[in-house]
Amino acid sequence: MNPIRIGKFTSSEIVALTTNGKKADTMGQPFYTYVKRKKQERKMGCHLSTNDNSKSLTWGKFLEWWLMFKRPDIIGLEYTLTPETTISHPEHSGVWVGSKDGHNNNTNAVIDIKCPWTREPFADFAECTTIDEVRDNHKAGEQYYWQLVSNAAISGVNKAELIVFMPSEDQLKEIQGSAIFDDHKFMNDVYFIGSAVDGDLPFVPKTSVYPNLLRFCFDVPQADIDFLTERVKIAGELLTEKNKL
């Protein structure tokens, strides 16, 4: 895990800071729990969670690599992908970091790529046409939305794109071959991809009415950037104070 992220609020988890309490103008319990965990990380000197080598996480990271280095034409050559680069907010570098998957060179939008491990969440995405529908109808919609808002705030831009990819059957065969024969950092972690048999890996069949690549482009409201920034400021004060939460 990236040591830069230890004890800091990250875009992927920052949705916790947006939760509200029952009383007006109060923060929800997830807000305080998240701050507590980050404070504990600082005391521990490392991430509290161990490395997650689950198939779903490995699948997503390998597909991002494949899209970046083997088939950048699939999502578009106008994108620069930077999933392993973590940057800090210019004014809150001590407490706020994010790792955007990249940016659109034409619009300057920050992007996040999701590669679902199962078809059900992909179908939920495919039933949506706007980011607001994703927020309302996808189980992780709020998390994904605020992740993009956070990365937009950190990058100083006001545009974002959520890109969702699930390979077609033909692309899946390419991906399996790449897992076995190409030179990459994943080593044996992707053996399950290369050795999978029919039905073990997700793909969008030719009979599907859903496209296998979805995009949700939107302008990030300044009000949401301001709201999140204020929540980070409040959380940062709690994070760095000596008293316990």
Cβ-contact 97, 86 below 8 angstroms: yes
**Single-letter amino acid, residue 140:** A
Cβ-contact 76, 111 below 8 angstroms: no
pLDDT value of position 35: 97
Domain that holds residue 85: 52-221
Higher pLDDT, 71 or 1: 71
- Total domains present in the chain: 1
pLDDT value of position 47: 86
Share of the chain above pLDDT 70, in %: 96
pLDDT at 1 over 80: no
pLDDT value of position 240: 87
**Average pLDDT taken over every residue of the chain:** 94
Any domain includes 238: no
Among 58, 62, 104, residue whose Cα is nearest residue 81? 104
Residue 96 bridge partners (DSSP):
9
Any domain includes 125: yes
User: Phi-psi region for residue 99, left (φ > 0), alpha (ψ -120 to 50) or beta?
Assistant: beta
- For residue 150, the domain's CATH number is 3.90.320.10
pLDDT at 50 over 90: no
pLDDT at 2 over 80: no
Close Cβ partners of 35 (under 8 Å, ≥ 6 residues apart)? 235, 238, 239, 245
Convert the pLDDT of each residue in 169-181 to its tens digit. Answer: 999 999 999 999 9
pLDDT value of position 90: 95
Any domain includes 27: no
pLDDT at 123 over 80: yes
Q: Residue 23 has which token pair? A: 């009383």
Any domain includes 159: yes
Q: Residue 206 has which token pair? A: 């030719």
Any domain includes 167: yes
Any domain includes 15: no
pLDDT at 119 over 90: yes
Any domain includes 12: no
Any domain includes 5: no
**What is the SS3 string spanning 94-151?**
CCEEECCCEEECCCCCEEEEECCCCHHHHHHHHCCCCHHHHHHHCCCHHHHHHHHHHH
Among 12, 11, 29, residue whose Cα is nearest residue 21? 29
